Structure 1
């Protein structure tokens, strides 16, 4: 999939898991640093023209970090009128998830549920590409 413009992305709904993964691969691709990305989706499954990277997030979600991040995400979701969020964990490691990946995905997913934020998907951007990060891997 080629990189869509903001206008093109807004007109192409992301309905299936394969479409989510293809969009993330086109926009973020293989990892080049450790950071966390958020893509926002509207009520018609279309990507909003807002993609947010978070560089240098804490190594652990402990101590209320996931809850604090989820409350900030809720504010953004409300301001952007988003219906769902896609999370991408970018790190220059192999495809397999790490304990830190699993801890963050689980804690942030739980914290978002508590805030009323619908998480459409979580993916990992690794040194060779992008892969789906299914809940079975971190719950």
Structure 2
């Protein structure tokens, strides 16, 4: 595992999905608990030296929770001068996206579009590693 120094982050662009996945593997790794991680990127897809774990997010995206999260992301992006955000859903299950995982990811993606938040991607940290949540997994919810 090669965890980059925060001072090096502006020089290490995350140009591809594999770059993003590798960074998440290095920093978050396999799931240890249920929480959400937020990585903020600049216009050049370089990670800003701010990493935010969110240990207590609602169990369901319903009742406006996805919209509230998207609004919070919009405010954080503005405050940090970020351009995009990477969202990592950490939970101690296998690598298959559950209905709840897919619902959170789909509703957050829609809420972010509405709020003008640019998602670079959403990943799943599971008990054996990290994987990308592909957009086609979110269809049909």
> Above 0.5 in TM-score?
yes
1:31-70, aligned counterparts within 5 Å?
31-70=31-70
Q: Which residue of 2 aligns with 1:5?
A: 5
Q: Which residue of 1 aligns with 2:92?
A: 92
TM-score, normalised with respect to structure 1: 0.97
Tell me how large the CA RMSD over aligned residues is.
0.8
Distance in 2 (alpha carbons) for counterparts of 1:59 and 1:98 = 13
Q: Which residue of 2 aligns with 1:19?
A: 19
Query: How many residue pairs align between the two structures?
Result: 139
TM-score, normalised with respect to structure 2: 0.96
Distance in 2 (alpha carbons) for counterparts of 1:65 and 1:95 = 24
* Structure 1 gap ranges (5+): none
Q: Which runs of 4+ in 1 moved over 3 A?
A: none
CA-to-aligned-CA distance 1:92-134 (integer Å, 9 cap, x gap): 0000000110000000110011010000010000000000111
Distance in 2 (alpha carbons) for counterparts of 1:85 and 1:47 = 9
Distance in 2 (alpha carbons) for counterparts of 1:71 and 1:54 = 15
* Structure 2 gap ranges (5+): none
